[in-house]
Amino acid sequence: MAALHDRPPSVIAVATAAAGALIALVLGLLTFGVQATVHPDAVPLAVAVGADAPPQLRGVADKLAGSDVAEVSWRVTTPDEARDLLSRQEVYGVLELAPGGATVLLSGAVNPSGTQVAQQVLGGVVQGAGMEAEVVTLNPASAAGRTAPLAASALLWIAGLIAAAAFTVVARRPSLVGRLTGIATTTVLGVAVVAGFFALWDSSLPLTTTVLGYLALVAAAFALVQGALLRLLGIRAMALLGPLYLIAPAVAGQVPELIDPVYRTLLWSWTPFRFSTEGVRALLHGGALDTAQVWVFVGLAAAGLLVLLLPGQKAQPDLADGVVDVGVDEADRLPGAERQHTA
């Protein structure tokens, strides 16, 4: 069967155009498709009333909780419990009802997309009820603080990806020591770059030992997985690792209640970027790491290291000066020599 480059130019043109369209289709589904299908679905919100609240306010809370609106999932609770739910990001916003007025509570530790929806919905409820509400943000985040968590995940991924791909192309005889040295160096330098950006963008962002340690765990896990796949597949692994970088902003930048159920199941449920993004956001804004946000990267790092430690095929020794042994040791056994002897 003839190779593609041996085909007529018109056939090659059609085949390459089809390949370009196929890649555009896949990337469109994985990136812009997520953003184009964003729609609220059971966004968790809380309405809080005190135990001594008048019956009218209790009636408003019960009416909200009983409303049949698919876009919002309401929880009626006390003010203290509502603030605890908000701090644990189990709700994205709280409407506190009190005789003196209403208060809309938001949190800088919540994904900005969730906070935006919560503020819109709660503001609409207050306006519809003819009330005025004060907006209070707990652990407020600056523009840099809102951008930093997702930026850290993407930058750590791209730093490891470029380093691992360059090592695969340049290193003629990659060894385990060489790979691990590159991964360690990439981890240190990647974290240094991210920490430098944090300090440049907003000096108030905490660069504690916990924050830097978590960034190092994420960077090492990314680099180990990338190195493992490149070892198994060679540079062809870039066809898988490259598009993952494009998925990160589209998927990890949203809360699951805004993502189409299909994308939520096929992409958001497993992508490591959403674990790292939410983990960094929690640490930067007064929260605590979830168990999954740690063990996902411990597992990725262990799997990548295991692949790198597997014994590889023993390389064939190179012959000096590029001479290829054809299995003929005596000159008189060559065809030309035989003709000379018979002559």
What pTM did the predictor assign? 0.81
In a domain, 323, yes or no: no
Burial class of residue 22 (count of CB atoms within 10 Å of its CB; 0-12, 13-18, 19+): exposed
Question: Quick one: 305 and 274 in the same domain?
Answer: yes
Give residue 335's pLDDT.
52
Rounded CA separation 3/126 (Å): 68
Q: Across all residues in the chain, what is the average pLDDT? A: 85
In a domain, 1, yes or no: no
259 Cβ contact list (under 8 Å, min separation 6): 34, 37, 38, 251, 267, 268
Residue range 161-180, pLDDT digits in tens: 999 999 999 988 888 999 99
27 or 209, which is more confident: 209
pLDDT at 315 over 50: no
In a domain, 301, yes or no: yes
Question: Quick one: 98 and 205 in the same domain?
Answer: no
- Mean pLDDT to the nearest integer, 42-63: 84
Question: What stretches of 171-290 show up as alpha helix (H) in DSSP?
Answer: 176-201, 209-233, 238-252, 261-263, 272-284
Question: Quick one: 100 and 54 in the same domain?
Answer: yes
Q: Which of 113-122, 265-274, 328-337 has the lowest mean pLDDT?
A: 328-337
Phi, psi for 340 (deg, rounded to 5): -65, -40
Rounded CA separation 266/34 (Å): 11
Residue ranges making up the domain that contains 101 = 43-138
User: 96-117 burial string, b = 16+ CB within 10 Å, else e?
Assistant: bbeeeebbbbbbbbbbbbbbbb
Question: Quick one: 212 and 267 in the same domain?
Answer: yes
> Which of 74, 78, 65 lies closest to 93 in space, CA to CA?
74
179 or 328, which is more confident: 179
Question: Quick one: 90 and 166 in the same domain?
Answer: no
Question: Quick one: 201 and 305 in the same domain?
Answer: yes
Q: Which of 104-108, 192-196, 262-266 has the lowest mean pLDDT?
A: 262-266
145 or 328, which is more confident: 145
133-138: strand order across its sheet: 72-77, 43-49, 94-98, 101-107, 133-138
In a domain, 321, yes or no: no
Count up the domains in the chain and report the number.
Answer: 2
For residue 47, give the CATH number of its domain: 3.40.1710.10
- Asked if 127 and 119 touch (Cβ cutoff 8 Å), the reply is no
In a domain, 21, yes or no: no
- Mean pLDDT to the nearest integer, 84-95: 91
pLDDT at 321 over 60: no
Rounded CA separation 165/168 (Å): 5
Domain stop point among 111, 138, 165: 138
Q: Which residues, listed in sequence order, are joined to residue 103 by a DSSP beta bridge?
A: 96, 134
> Which of 100, 99, 83, 89 lies closest to 47 in space, CA to CA?
83
Domain stop point among 115, 138, 161: 138
pLDDT confidence bin for 59, thresholds 50/70/90: confident
Give residue 34's pLDDT.
85
Rounded CA separation 19/16 (Å): 5
Question: Quick one: 90 and 206 in the same domain?
Answer: no
Domain stop point among 138, 154, 172: 138
In a domain, 119, yes or no: yes
Question: Quick one: 157 and 69 in the same domain?
Answer: no
Give residue 69's pLDDT.
79
- Mean pLDDT to the nearest integer, 62-85: 86
HEC secondary structure over 1-46:
CCCHHHCCHHHHHHHHHHHHHHHHHHHHHHHHHHHHCCCCCCEEEE
